[in-house]
Structure 1
Amino acid sequence: MTQDFISHSVSETLRIAEEFAETVSPGDVILLEGDLGAGKTHFVKGFVRRFGLSSEVVSSPTFTIINEYIGSLAVYHFDFYRIENIEEALEIGTEEYLYGTGVCIVEWPERVRDILPEDAQTVHITTIAPEKRMITIVG
């Protein structure tokens, strides 16, 4: 199943993400794709609101690789942009998170494709204009 949404603002992206979060279950993995600056972190900010967290707790994990947000459900936010190889992801225990009971959101999933669950959902964010985004959800 594929769903397309057009967002005209950050607040619309937050709302779309929060509504999407209502459909996930413990153990789900979401692959978050999009160019730098497409709005992936804003999407995560909206997503965690569904679990009783403030958008303010979310920051890009580019330098830390993983951020953990613990609300009514644990959300693990990965950013594999800076890893050199899949072994780096394995060294930090990525598989334990991916096959655990929280929800994992994975940015730059192509860098760790071989360890991702086959049933992962994909959210692709495409920049159409400076404030306009196409958000495609597959799965």
Structure 2
Amino acid sequence: MEFIYTESELDDIAKKIIKSSSSKTLAFYAPMGAGKTTLIKALIKELGSSDNVSSPTFGLVNEYALASGELLGYHFDFYRLDNEEEAMDIGLDDYLASGGWIFMEWPEKIPSLLPNDVQNIKIEILDEETRKLTLA
């Protein structure tokens, strides 16, 4: 499934991803500057969290909750990892088993740790304002 969109259409794209996703574990494949974090922010908002969403580049993982305090999920940025062992050291298995939504930036850094049911999302930059998203 493919979507062409601009930033002004992110809320609609987030709804479509949530409706069409085969999993609550989403792996985002895209080059730097393609809008992974911006899209994840729209997804987290659409799922009902008002938490401030930012890339967890230095902390590796951010946790998000619903207004009720219930866990919504976790947002990972694996860009700075040197190897998969570092992901295991932060307890990736426990996060994946939490039952919450999982949003992963740079999943290509941990290929053998990705669950079988992961929903792969590829974002391509078409021009400065337009992106192509593929759910695979």
Q: Which amino acid aligns with 1:16?
A: I
* Secondary structure, counterpart of 2:126 in structure 1: strand
In structure 1, how many angstroms separate the alpha carbons of the residues matched to 2:126 and 2:20?
Answer: 26
Q: Give the alignment partner of residue 102 of structure 2, picking from 101, 104, 107.
A: 104
Q: Which runs of 5+ in 2 are unaligned?
A: none
1:79 corresponds to which of 77, 84, 99: 77
Distance 1:34 1:98 in 2: 21
Q: Percent identity over the alignment? A: 40
Alpha-carbon distance in structure 1 between the residues aligned to 2:27 and 2:57: 15
Of 108, 123, 126, the match for 2:121: 123
SS at match of 1:20: helix
Question: Does structure 1 conserve the Cα–Cα contact (< 8 Å) formed by 2:21 and 2:119?
Answer: no
The one of 3, 17, 20 aligned to 1:20? 17
| Distance of aligned partners of 1:65 and 1:100 in 2 relative to their CA distance in 1, 3 Å threshold | same
- The Cα offsets for residues 67-109 of structure 1, whole Å up to 9 and x where unpaired, read as 1111165121100000111111111101111122101111111
The one-letter amino acid of 2:47's match is: F
Runs of 4+ in 1 over 3 A off after TM superposition: 22-25
Counterpart in the other structure of 1:58: 53
Conservation of the 8 A alpha-carbon contact between 1:15 and 1:46: no
Given that 1:68 and 1:75 are in contact with CA atoms closer than 8 Å, whether structure 2 keeps it comes out as: yes
Distance apart, 1:123 and its partner CA: 0.9
Once the two structures are TM-superposed, the CA of residue 22 in structure 1 deviates from its matched residue by 3.9
CA distance in 2, matches of 1:123, 1:78: 14
Residue by residue, what CA displacement relative to the aligned partner does 1:26-75 show, whole Å, maximum 9, x if unpaired?
x7211111000001011101101122223x61101111100111116512
Quote the RMSD (CA, aligned, Å). 1.8
In structure 2, the residue matched to 1:41 is 37
User: Distance in 1 between the 2:80 and 2:11 partners?
Assistant: 25
- Partner in structure 2 of residue 29 of structure 1: 25
